[in-house]
Amino acid sequence: MDLEKHQVPSNELDDLLNKQQTLRPVHKDLRKRRLRRAVVHGVGLLASFVFITTLAHIPRSWNFWDREVSLHLPRRPLSLREREDLFLSIPTAESALEISRAWATHPHLAGSSEDLLDAKAILHLFQDEFDIPKSTHLPIYDAGSTLSRNATLLLTTPDASSRPRAWIDTYYPVLNTGVEQILEILDDEGTAIWTADLVEDGDPRDEDAHKYKDTIPAWHGLSCDGDVTGQLIYANYGTKEDYDELLAQGTNFTNKIVITRYGSNFRGLKIQGAEILGAAGVLIYSDPRDDGFVTTKNDYPPYPAGPARNPTSVQRGSVQYLTSYPGDPTTPGYPAYPDAERTEGSNIPKIPSLPISWENAQKLLGEIGDLYTHDSNGRNVLSGQASKSNIRLINHVDTKVTPIWNAMASIPGHIKNEVVVIGCHRDAWVMGAADPSSGTVSLHEIIRGYGALLRKGWKPLRTIVIASWDAEEYGLVGSTEWGEDFAPWVSEHVVSYLNVDVSVAGSRFVTSASPSLAHLIKKTANDVPHPTIVGKTLWDALDDDGPYDFQANNATIDPDFLELYSSSEAIRKSSKTRVMPLGSGSDFTVFLQRLGVASSDQGFAFTLRDAIYHYHSIYDSQPWQERYGDPGFHRHAAVAKHLGLLGLRLTDAIILPINTTQYALELDQYLDEVEKLLPILGEKSGDVDFYSLRNSIQQVQDASFKLDKEKSDAEEDFKRLLKRMHFPGRRGARCTKRRSGFFRRAADWVKSVFGVPAPTDSELQLLSLRHANSWEEYLEYATEAEGEFLDSLEAPSGRQKGHGLPFPIRKFIKAAKRVARANKALKAFEHGFISEHGIKGREWYKHLGVAPGKWLGYGATTLPALTEAITYEKNTTLIRYEAKRLEDLLVNLASTIKPEASVDP
């Protein structure tokens, strides 16, 4: 900073000092001077409240009064309804389309130069929308440095800045990029008789795909470097069930190359299953059988001529063993700092793999012959037949420590020790118009909406952190490293994490979340208009379907895929809330399943009647999105409205809108599903009894019912006293009209923070600065009034401090403490499922309520440790141990959330 530019000329300084002398005498009392200084810097008026000076974290975090706020008191605060209406007016389809054309028309591979430029673009967006001053040096910090640590940790301290901030955290995980990929069919002498073209065709009718068709190789992120040769075996989806079926038929996988189709489980688990069985390598392709009705077989032209699959499209993606642990493979459980101590990495493959197109897969499958045969009951089963020819698979990759960049922003709230985090990843395998640019577009609109609120004088009740995560595509790396970096802080302060990844890849709105957020998600979706149908809401879009009429075309569909799809749909529709549990595959994982933070995810997904979404292909492009994904970009805006409104309601609610009872009741259903598994134990099933576990669930439900009543009563009492709030000054003390006006202003502002109706226009006239002759005079009577108020808080001789407070401040303080206790219990609920010992065999995952299925990856398994003890271990001793461990955890959870005996404030 150039200090000379900011110095005041000596003559002007003398005039200012003389004017100050005439307006206000110099205070000689050191105690009063310190009190005034504290008021001006934010610990003033409401720092006197016991609930922000003596109770668990609240005393130092509910900072309702600081200099910046006091200077803006005359502005009429927005009511809760006005805040929401203003926010909902900001995200628009037109803006979303414009932003998508900027984001989805170039590659964003994690760790690339383009990725860094995008991180800086997000940083500038934060700065522009949140009015954050820019400096010549961008705030880009190495993870682990003092600047990086303080950027997050100081958000919840009493001295935290009251202004928004933005910065970039740089982590250093081990990633890889494709160098050389070759796939050949060999003759008996080992000579290549066919070589696959592993580059997508880049049809010029999609200008972006044509431009970048060979920019990013078709390879698997975190795949193993290798050159292997072997016969080919078809393993369907490569699920555990598929491998078990082949083993049952005597299939020998040793030194074979396995070919599987995408779908049903996470791609890394297909490779893990083959590796365990001794395979040499794996090929994974996209099969049109999984494309529903919109296929070339049903006479739909392939993209870009039409909505069917382009046969050369290739699904890139990470092959990390996600269900072991996500994040940087070499720093499991701790952050990837520049100088981090690294391990070899146990969650990545030891055999090479390649993603290939349907066009190439057809040639290879033809080498095998019959893929299926029939069992004695006439049922189709995998043949296990190996190809006559050998296949050569070469995958050379460049593996190294690679910097990645999480772009972060904070909007400080009045309650600083409670934080809502909203995030979306930024990196893509190529352009990623759907994954994740559609999510980034929706996040962009949320940022614009919150910026508009800030310009209207809004300050959230709780602190908000917004994150643009990096390297999600490699295995949730950016979010996981940040979560591991700030684990104690997240566990203590974050009340909810709201995720968006793919906003739009189809026609149907889907949402997954912690059960405690389900009711809030539904209520909020019912308050957002349907993106395309007048008179309906976003919640109605749960049953939307794609535009292609298969009945009119007499279209056919693969029966096996239809069975899987129908089963999934049946489960979704049978859910009472229509909000499904979270598995993994996106950035909520570290928050929910390691740190115990209530989380959510949402977006528009593919249906059987939608145009084919070319996942992780060059054809996940802006032209595809405009023609088929979301013509008009109304769905992008709808997701922004819903997610942003969800964030506002979690942020500005007096009582956190977390429904513990919904979750507690669902625990019975979770245990019902576990009990259905017991027959696989055979005669040993009689050795297992879940009576005590069922009783512990009942205890959680009973405690939650009591918490429901307590949180309702606490909020009602708080609001009732808030309406009566005033600051008349010390009893018996002279309170001038001017000072009374200041206290009135303070009371009205406190009410506005909590959503009590704002002052009327006539009241604003009484409260305006025009009652002061000058700004200096306003500061004079304001500081005098503040000093007198603080004096009034001193306890008279022989009395306990606080008993001399004017009515109803003393009762209001007790009501605020009661609200704080209820919120603490609500936040603690999800964390109550965290076990430090984690899940057997994959201890990184610590949530015993839900986790990604061990052999699913994306899909969720409820009560995972207990479920897996039955399904995979079949050991009654282990089953009883896991049931007891879960029982103890639930009994402790019930004790944690059970309200204290109510005391009339």
443, 468 in Cβ contact below 8 A?
yes
State residue 550's pLDDT score: 77
194, 363 in Cβ contact below 8 A?
yes
What is the H or E stretch that residue 467 is in? Answer: strand 462-469
Locate tokens 């539904």: which residue? 522
Q: How far apart are CA 333 and CA 327, in angstroms?
A: 9
Q: Which residue has the higher pLDDT, 528 or 78?
A: 528
Q: How far apart are CA 257 and CA 392, in angstroms?
A: 9
Q: Which of 106, 162, 647, 171 is nearest to 424 (CA)?
A: 647
**Residue 434 falls in which region: left (phi positive, over 0), alpha (psi -120 to 50) or beta:** alpha
Q: What is the DSSP pairing of strand 850-852 with strand 860-862?
A: antiparallel
What 3-state DSSP class applies to 552?
coil
**pLDDT above 70 for 36:** no
pLDDT band of residue 79 (cuts 50, 70, 90) is: confident
State residue 573's pLDDT score: 84
**pLDDT above 60 for 769:** no
What 3-state DSSP class applies to 497?
strand
- Residue 703 to residues 408, 445, 601, 886: CA-CA distances in angstroms? 37, 40, 28, 17
Q: How far apart are CA 419 and CA 411, in angstroms?
A: 10
| Percentage of the chain exceeding pLDDT 70 | 81
426, 444 in Cβ contact below 8 A?
no
322, 329 in Cβ contact below 8 A?
no
What 3-state DSSP class applies to 257?
strand
Q: How far apart are CA 388 and CA 368, in angstroms?
A: 7
Give CA torsion, residues 147, 148, 151, 153, to 10 deg. Answer: -110
Cβ atoms within 10 Å, residue 424: 30
Farthest CA pair distance, the chain:
106
**Between vectors from CA 613 to CA 607 and to CA 619, what angle results, nearest 5°?**
170
State residue 902's pLDDT score: 44
pLDDT band of residue 457 (cuts 50, 70, 90) is: very high
**Residue 603 falls in which region: left (phi positive, over 0), alpha (psi -120 to 50) or beta:** left
State residue 187's pLDDT score: 96
Q: Note the pTM of the prediction, 2 decimals.
A: 0.87
What 3-state DSSP class applies to 299?
coil
State residue 883's pLDDT score: 98
State residue 726's pLDDT score: 57
What is the H or E stretch that residue 381 is in? Answer: strand 380-382
At 836-864, the pLDDT tens digits run 999 999 999 999 999 999 998 888 999 99
State residue 747's pLDDT score: 62
**pLDDT above 70 for 185:** yes
The phi, psi pair for 398, rounded to 5°, reads -105, 110
Q: Which residue has the higher pLDDT, 99 or 813?
A: 99
State residue 722's pLDDT score: 76
Average pLDDT of the residues of the chain: 86
Q: Which of 577, 578, 560 is nearest to 569 (CA)?
A: 578
328, 400 in Cβ contact below 8 A?
no
Cα 224 to its chain centre, rounded Å, is 29
Orientation of helix 437-455 relative to helix 80-88, angle to 10°: 140
Locate tokens 């009994």: which residue? 891
Name 754's Cβ contacts closer than 8 Å, sequence gap at least 6: 461, 654, 718, 719, 722
State residue 776's pLDDT score: 36
Q: Which residue has the higher pLDDT, 819 or 728?
A: 819
- The single-letter code of the amino acid at 572 is R
- Average pLDDT over every residue of 410-417: 92
Q: Which of 469, 320, 134, 493 is nearest to 842 (CA)?
A: 320
Q: What is the DSSP letter of 899?
A: P
Q: Count of residues for the chain?
A: 905
Beta bridge partners of 412: none
At 97-141, the pLDDT tens digits run 999 999 999 999 999 999 999 999 999 999 999 999 998 899 999
Beta bridge partners of 180: 396
State residue 67's pLDDT score: 36
What's the Rg (C-alpha) of the chain? 30
815, 49 in Cβ contact below 8 A?
no
pLDDT band of residue 376 (cuts 50, 70, 90) is: confident
| Percentage of the chain exceeding pLDDT 90 | 73
State residue 814's pLDDT score: 82
Name 736's Cβ contacts closer than 8 Å, sequence gap at least 6: none
Beta bridge partners of 356: 285
**pLDDT above 60 for 433:** yes
483, 591 in Cβ contact below 8 A?
yes
Q: Which of 859, 858, 877, 878 is nearest to 868 (CA)?
A: 878
State residue 720's pLDDT score: 87
State residue 207's pLDDT score: 97
Cβ atoms within 10 Å, residue 212: 18
- Average pLDDT over every residue of 403-432: 96
What 3-state DSSP class applies to 342?
coil
**pLDDT above 70 for 151:** yes
Question: What's the start-to-end Cα distance of the chain, in Å?
Answer: 52
At 471-503, the pLDDT tens digits run 999 999 999 999 999 999 999 999 999 999 999
Cβ atoms within 10 Å, residue 630: 30
Q: Which of 631, 543, 558 is nearest to 295 (CA)?
A: 558
At 738-766, the pLDDT tens digits run 545 555 555 666 666 666 554 444 433 33
* Residue-range domains of the chain with CATH: 80-173+402-652 (3.40.630.10), 175-400 (3.50.30.30), 660-714+816-897 (1.20.930.40)
DSSP labels for 647-713?
Answer: HHHHHH-SS----HHHHHHHHHHHHHHHHTTGGGGGGGGGG---HHHHHHHHHHHHHHHHHHHHHHH
State residue 686's pLDDT score: 87
Q: Which of 237, 219, 396, 221 is nearest to 314 (CA)?
A: 219
State residue 572's pLDDT score: 85
Range of weakest confidence among 328-342, 382-396, 618-632, 781-795: 781-795
State residue 753's pLDDT score: 65
Q: How far apart are CA 593 and CA 483, in angstroms?
A: 11
